[in-house]
Amino acid sequence: MPNRLAGETSPYLQQHAENPVDWHPWGQEALTLAKREDRPILLSIGYSACHWCHVMAHESFEDAEVAAVMNGLFVNIKVDREERPDLDQIYQTAHQMLTGRAGGWPLTMFLTPDGTPFFGGTYFPKAPRYGLPGFPGLCQQVAEAWRDRRADIEQQNGELLKALSAGAAARPLAGELSGAPLKLAVERAAQAYDAEFGGFGGAPKFPHPADLELLLRRHAATGEARCGEMALTTLRRMAEGGLYDQLGGGFCRYSVDERWAIPHFEKMLYDNGPLLRLYADAWLVSREPLFRRIAEETAAWAMREMQSPEGGYYSSLDADSEHEEGKFYVWSPEKVSLRTTAEEYAVVSTHYGLDRPANFEGSHWHLIVAQPLVDVAAALGKPLPECEALLASARAKLLAAREARVRPGRDDKILTSWNALMIEGMAHAGRVLGRDDWLASARRALDFIRKAMWKDGRLLATCKDGRAHLNAYLDDYACLLKAVLELLQAEFDAGLLAFAEALGNALLAHFEDAAGGFWFTSHDHEALIHRVKTGHDNATPSGNGVAAHALQRLGHLTGDMRFLAAADRTLRLYYPDMERQPGGFASLIMALEEALTPPAIVVLRGPPDQLPDWQGKIAAHYWPWAIALGLPASAGKLPPALDKPLKDGVNAWVCSGVKCLEPIDDFSCLERVCKSPELI
């Protein structure tokens, strides 16, 4: 019989609905039961694309004997970390405090009935191995500790709660903001940079799009060559490795090795949106065809495999298929040879490393760019264009053959914050590369969010099968505001600007802390053992960093000083952290950059048939410090900061902070100004 998870919107929870474990979703019913029966809680947090979550489920949660132990000793609660990032952040932090080790998924925590954790870990095998205890025996030991050492647990809980509260305290900067964190961030990146393979540090390697975006921005702002080199080399190596799906497009979550060769095969929406934006910008900076191709293929993958018929983007693709990680993606030379001509195989085998030893689990080949195509062409004595055509035809055949395999599972819930990251990436790349179909994709997703997940001036966090629910988080509002501002640059809409203002007002009303910064949960959110407020980037950019950046821009566009003041308070709160240790604060540091040098607001007024030409020319430049809006006569009622007079032809009004130039009617003049914001 299905357990209580059968009616949940999370595909991850639904995966556990047939378990013999008496699972509860997180909620008052389970918490009340634990208190009434004075039983500890076994909290298991994971997500549907997680390989080790599946392993623990198959080994333990699907086993009737293990389930009987769990059911007899605990109130068992299963949580999807993607739907409940508030819970995940709290208990990951608690795990690190209790064990001294970084967490991960599945997260396995044992809680007192009031929700305070007293023991935990991540994956536990059914039988002892890997130096880990067997899960059933561990459950018995934890239950004995709860029964026999209650006083020790209560003392530890008090210390843990104090430590959690202390971690949230900070003393804001009283003096002037400075650019010191920007310089230190570059220095620290250079120290950790892997000059051979790109990226920072050793294995495992994660993409960290915000760090790369910061380096590209510093390269453009200062001309510092090493910033561009670190960002562009990393993006090249990622695109040439197995982190990138060489046949279908899109990036996996991380690489298990320092060469970007073998990924953890799950594909997450939240990585691919920012990476789509980055590769479009890398093309603007370098004009390298590789970067444009990767952007095109990633956008195509997102639209083909991740966009719902209703418009919203799905969350992720699983690492596993047929209970094996990576099975959908890997090949053998024989299978590739069977599906390609001899001429195609000669190119593909050398280019993708099929002529080398197997690189995945000893007997499989995961496709990477092992030899540049220009070298393959030279070795074969063929013209490069001919090899390009052979590679393209072979890739199409292999992709079609792969489509016939058993596909990895897809988590088809629609998350507001992750959709916002893809909307922003698709809108930005579409504007930069002149792809109206990408812009249309972004608008469809935003339309879905506004229709299904925006109710009475508040956002909902998740939606599946027409059911939207859960109070939205800081990241939902902040990332969506930033995405809306990006779409406004592609095509101005007064209603969309009003929506941006509504999102900004909601951030101030429901999330801002009077001491500075924004709480992760709203003021009327469910009371938990700890309320999170952090400025650190994780797999996704910091909600505080995105909020500060977006609110600054919204303030400059609308002239509403409340937004600018809230961003300033946020930067002051986290400035000491940025100055002391800038690693992991890239999102906030980019907001600091624009606080020190306000962005150039470019207001274009003119006939609707002439504005697109100017907008296209602006989009063809990498000017990350410029926000350009094309406002035709039909733009409607505008805030004073944007309400510029119409003249013959196109005119550009350029302002930065409180400084404004005379209107510009010659694009070459506008180009000179935007290249050098100090001219404003």
Last residue in a domain, options 350, 383, 404: 404
Q: Does residue 298 lie in a domain region?
A: yes
pLDDT in tens, 177-202: 999 999 999 999 999 999 999 999 99
- Shared domain for 452 and 500, answered yes or no, is yes
- Shared domain for 375 and 440, answered yes or no, is no
pLDDT in tens, 41-92: 999 999 999 999 999 999 999 999 999 999 999 999 999 999 999 999 999 9
DSSP state of 304: I
Nearest to 538 by CA among 82, 216, 118, 232: 82
Last residue in a domain, options 404, 434, 457: 404
- Shared domain for 443 and 464, answered yes or no, is yes
pLDDT score at 168 = 63
- pTM value is 0.97
Q: Does residue 161 lie in a domain region?
A: yes
Q: Percentages helix, strand, coil for the chain, rounded to the nearest 5?
A: 50, 15, 35
- Shared domain for 547 and 424, answered yes or no, is yes
Q: Does residue 174 lie in a domain region?
A: no
- Shared domain for 335 and 300, answered yes or no, is no
- Shared domain for 154 and 39, answered yes or no, is yes
- Shared domain for 611 and 592, answered yes or no, is no
Q: Does residue 365 lie in a domain region?
A: yes
Strands 651-656 and 600-605: antiparallel
* Residue 289 belongs to domain with CATH number: 1.50.10.10
Q: What is the rounded distance in angstroms from the CA atom of residue 318 to the CA atom of residue 463?
A: 19
- Shared domain for 308 and 336, answered yes or no, is no
Q: What is the rounded distance in angstroms from the CA atom of residue 231 to the CA atom of residue 509?
A: 37
Q: Does residue 3 lie in a domain region?
A: no
Residue type, 379: A
> Who contacts 338 (Cβ-Cβ below 8 Å, separation ≥6)?
none
3-class DSSP state of 632: coil
Q: Does residue 172 lie in a domain region?
A: no
Last residue in a domain, options 551, 580, 596: 596
Strands 659-660 and 651-656: antiparallel
Q: Does residue 625 lie in a domain region?
A: yes
* Residue 71 belongs to domain with CATH number: 3.40.30.10
- Shared domain for 476 and 380, answered yes or no, is no
Nearest to 565 by CA among 507, 520, 521, 519: 507
Residues of the chain predicted below pLDDT 70 = 168-169, 679
Helices marked H in 532-635: 543-558, 561-580, 586-596, 611-619
- Shared domain for 560 and 465, answered yes or no, is yes
User: How many residues belong to the chain?
Assistant: 680
Assess contact for 452 and 313: CB atoms under 8 A: no
Q: Does residue 259 lie in a domain region?
A: yes
Q: What is the rounded distance in angstroms from the CA atom of residue 52 to the CA atom of residue 277?
A: 30
> Who contacts 279 (Cβ-Cβ below 8 Å, separation ≥6)?
235, 239, 291, 292, 294, 295, 298, 429
- Shared domain for 373 and 438, answered yes or no, is no
Q: How many domains does the chain have?
A: 4
- Shared domain for 584 and 470, answered yes or no, is yes
Range of the domain at 138: 11-167
Nearest to 638 by CA among 447, 446, 493, 485: 493
Q: How far is CA 162 from the centre of its chain?
A: 31
